[in-house]
């Protein structure tokens, strides 16, 4: 039976930290950033005059800042502090306090796109695609696709749940690992938390 196309972003399953924070750090989204950021989205630095802020990542070779998992901001409409698992793109009177996982040893469960990412791709790097976030749940719609040896791709494939020889610790029942829209486990490859940028030989 075909796998379901239902991306959910980057869901952390392993870290050197412990639940529930997994060594999250605080970063900031500018209050005038009109692009929504969903829980499970990869985020990247904003360049130019807004240096220091983060925004939702897109498919590129920009080193990622980490994975966004929620935020806090002073709502202009509700006149109170709001804790949310996503930034809707408006309604903040000042900078948005964002919670980001940037542990260089963290691993994430993520769905592959319309082309299967099988066990033979373990060890290759892989690109992200934004997809469509869910404004009802606040969850990301990001997924991964196009594995390659390109050093500047943001993630590294470390395992394929369900495939022979792959680690499935902490992973629920998985879709067919040989078909499109399967799940993969990735970790950061090209991220700001790694001092030398894109890495080779991540273990």
Tokens of 18: 């412990």
Rounded mean pLDDT, 110-129:
96
Spatial CA neighbour of 81 closest among 92, 70, 90, 89: 92
Mean per-residue pLDDT over the chain, rounded: 88
What's the Cα-to-Cα distance from 176 to each of 90, 92, 117, 142, 148, rounded to whole Å? Answer: 39, 42, 11, 19, 22
Check whether the bond before 20 is cis (ω within 30° of 0).
yes
* 120 neighbors 163 (Cβ within 8 angstroms): no
**pLDDT of the residue at 174:** 78
pLDDT digits (tens, 9 = 90+) for 32-85: 999 999 999 999 999 866 578 999 999 998 899 999 999 999 999 999 999 999
pLDDT band at 192 (very low <50, low <70, confident <90, very high): confident
State the Cα–Cα distance between residues 84 and 196, nearest whole angstrom: 33
pLDDT band at 158 (very low <50, low <70, confident <90, very high): very high
* 31 neighbors 63 (Cβ within 8 angstroms): no
pLDDT digits (tens, 9 = 90+) for 164-177: 666 556 566 678 99
Domain-wise residue ranges, the chain: 16-101, 105-188
Query: Containing H/E element for 12?
Result: strand 11-14
6-10, 83-87, 161-165: least confidently modelled range: 161-165
Rounded mean pLDDT, 144-164:
92
**pLDDT of the residue at 201:** 43
pLDDT band at 24 (very low <50, low <70, confident <90, very high): confident
State the Cα–Cα distance between residues 70 and 192, nearest whole angstrom: 19
């Amino acid at each position: 039976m075909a796998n379901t196309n239902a991306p959910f972003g980057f869901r952390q399953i392993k870290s050197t930290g412990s639940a529930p924070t997994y060594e999250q750090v605080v970063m900031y989204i500018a209050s005038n950033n009109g692009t929504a950021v969903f829980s499970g989205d990869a985020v990247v630095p904003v360049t130019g005059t807004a240096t220091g802020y983060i925004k939702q990542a897109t498919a590129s070779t920009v080193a990622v800042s980490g994975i966004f998992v929620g935020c806090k901001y002073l709502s202009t409409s509700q006149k109170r502090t709001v804790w949310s698992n996503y930034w809707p793109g408006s309604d903040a009177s000042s900078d948005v306090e964002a919670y980001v996982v940037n542990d260089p040893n963290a691993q994430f469960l993520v769905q592959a796109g319309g082309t299967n990412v099988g066990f033979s791709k373990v060890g290759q790097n892989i690109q992200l695609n934004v997809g469509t976030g869910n404004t009802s749940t606040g969850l990301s719609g990001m997924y991964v696709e196009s594995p390659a040896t390109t050093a500047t791709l943001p993630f590294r494939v470390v395992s394929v749940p369900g495939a022979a020889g792959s680690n499935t610790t902490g992973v629920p029942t998985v879709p067919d690992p040989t078909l499109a829209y399967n799940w993969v486990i990735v970790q950061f490859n090209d991220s700001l938390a790694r001092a030398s940028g894109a890495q080779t030989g991540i273990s």
